[in-house]
């Protein structure tokens, strides 16, 4: 399955945006309702914190990707707009129930949760992520849950804790190629660590778990290196892949080396499917959680489930 990206983009400095990247304004009554509920429950979203170009489309459709463990990250990746801060172990234990309340009131069939990296916590925040999944299972038992996690400091025990809570999808983003990883990601992240987390999730999660990853384009990657990254993800038995254009959040972040045209995204998606991914979302404005339910159902259909 291949999904193409929507129109819409957050402001970014640098070269003029190409014709295939356009802003989509908010539409419909759901947008203010989503914004109001997030404010009422004091919840953060990756939509705002990472300046996602699809915010207007998703919020207008009545959904958002919720960010767990606060809105400040202990890492500083060269591409990411999320604020860097060391919270010194502070955790809001009411967050899982507030997330569950938001999902219940939205009446979502499918929810995507992500996290900031929390190197200040012994388990990388794994227990809070697990608590949130369990709270969702109690309040919205029919809702499918996708969890986009950090690398959890490479701790298998933290990953086990999360998987025992029973998410339907376990996602972790490779972000870029092996060659570019050291200059794109925080020094505490690692290409091999990310692959190992995904491989462990497949081993530990059982046959029902769907795994997923994402790669950004426009950071200087070469086609051959991208295809090797695809192969590495398939070696870890990753089911789903998303590919999107990197957009520079500010002048302090890595520059865009080029804007990849839509036809190249289509070509890369075709190659990824040839390598065995069960679903691929590929387009200039595709992000990790873009049309996540459609991709999940493609993976389940590919398994005959």
Q: Per-residue pLDDT for the chain (305 aa), expressed as one digit of tens each?
A: 555 444 344 445 556 789 888 766 656 666 667 667 667 777 766 555 446 565 566 655 556 678 898 888 999 998 888 888 999 999 999 999 999 998 898 888 888 898 989 999 999 999 999 999 999 999 999 999 999 999 999 999 999 999 999 999 999 999 999 999 999 999 999 999 999 999 999 999 998 999 999 999 999 999 999 999 999 999 999 999 999 999 998 899 999 999 999 999 999 999 999 999 999 999 998 988 888 889 999 888 876 65
pLDDT of 34 reads 67
H or E, element range at 245: strand 240-245
Question: Rounded to a whole number, what is the distance in angstroms from the first to the last CA of the chain?
Answer: 15
C-alpha 20/C-alpha 6 separation (Å) is 10
Instruction: Look at residue 9 in the predicted model and tell me its pLDDT.
Output: 44
Give one DSSP letter per residue of 287-300, joined into a string: -TTTTHHHHHHHHH
pLDDT of 58 reads: 63
d(CA 16, CA 61): 29
Structure tokens at 134: 């369990």
Q: What is the pTM of this model?
A: 0.89
Here the tokens at position 83 are: 């604020």
Rg of the chain, C-alpha, whole Å: 18
Distance CA 291, CA 6 (A): 10
In the prediction, which pLDDT does 7 show? Answer: 38
Residue 280 contacts residue 5 (beta carbons within 8 Å): no
Helix, strand, coil abundance in the chain, percent, nearest 5: 40, 15, 50
**How many other CB atoms sit within 10 Å of the CB of residue 52?**
26
Of residues 189, 241, 238, the one with CA closest to residue 215: 241
pLDDT value of residue 289: 83
Q: What angle do CA 75, 80, 85 make, to 5 degrees?
A: 35
139-174 pLDDT tens trace? 999 999 999 999 999 999 999 999 999 999 999 999
Measure the CA–CA gap between 235 and 241, rounded to whole angstroms. Answer: 13
User: Which residues have a Cβ under 8 Å from the Cβ of 7 and sit 6 or more positions away?
Assistant: 21, 22, 23, 24, 285
Q: How many residues belong to the chain?
A: 305
- What tens digit of pLDDT does each residue of 190-216 get? 999 999 999 999 999 998 999 999 999
Give domain limits for the chain.
Answer: 2-302
pLDDT at 292: 87
> 89 to each of 46, 117, 127, 186, 296, how far by Cα in Å?
21, 12, 13, 20, 34
What fold, for 2-302?
A: TIM Barrel (3.20.20)
Note the pLDDT of residue 166: 97
- What per-residue confidence (pLDDT) applies to 272? 98
């Amino acid at each position: 399955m291949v999904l193409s990206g929507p129109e819409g983009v957050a402001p970014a400095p640098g070269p003029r945006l190409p014709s295939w990247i356009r802003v989509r304004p908010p539409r419909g009554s759901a947008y203010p309702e989503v914004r109001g509920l997030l404010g009422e429950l004091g919840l953060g979203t990756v939509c705002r914190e990472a300046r996602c170009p699809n915010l207007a489309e998703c919020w207008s459709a009545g959904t958002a990707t919720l960010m767990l463990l606060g809105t400040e990250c202990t890492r500083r990746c060269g591409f990411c707009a999320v604020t860097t801060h060391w919270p010194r172990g502070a955790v809001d234990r009411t967050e899982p129930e507030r997330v569950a309340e938001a999902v219940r009131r939205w009446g979502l069939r499918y929810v995507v949760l992500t996290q900031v990296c929390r190197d200040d916590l012994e388990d990388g925040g794994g227990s809070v992520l697990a608590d949130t999944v369990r709270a969702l299972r109690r309040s919205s038992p029919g809702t499918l849950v996708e969890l986009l996690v950090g690398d959890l400091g490479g701790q298998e025990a933290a990953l086990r804790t999360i998987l025992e809570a029973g998410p339907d999808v376990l996602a972790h983003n490779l972000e870029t190629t092996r060659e570019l990883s050291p200059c794109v990601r925080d020094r505490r992240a690692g290409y091999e660590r990310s692959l190992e987390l995904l491989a462990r999730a497949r081993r530990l999660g059982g046959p029902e778990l769907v795994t997923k990853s994402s790669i950004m384009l426009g950071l200087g990657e070469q086609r051959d290196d991208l295809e090797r990254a695809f192969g590495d993800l398939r070696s870890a038995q990753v089911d789903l892949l998303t590919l999107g254009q990197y957009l520079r959040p500010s002048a302090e972040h890595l520059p865009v080396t080029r804007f990849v045209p839509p036809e190249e995204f289509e070509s890369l998606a075709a190659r990824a499917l040839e390598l065995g991914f069960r679903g691929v979302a590929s387009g200039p404005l595709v992000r990790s959680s873009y049309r996540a339910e459609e991709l999940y159902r493609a993976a389940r259909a590919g398994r005959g489930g």
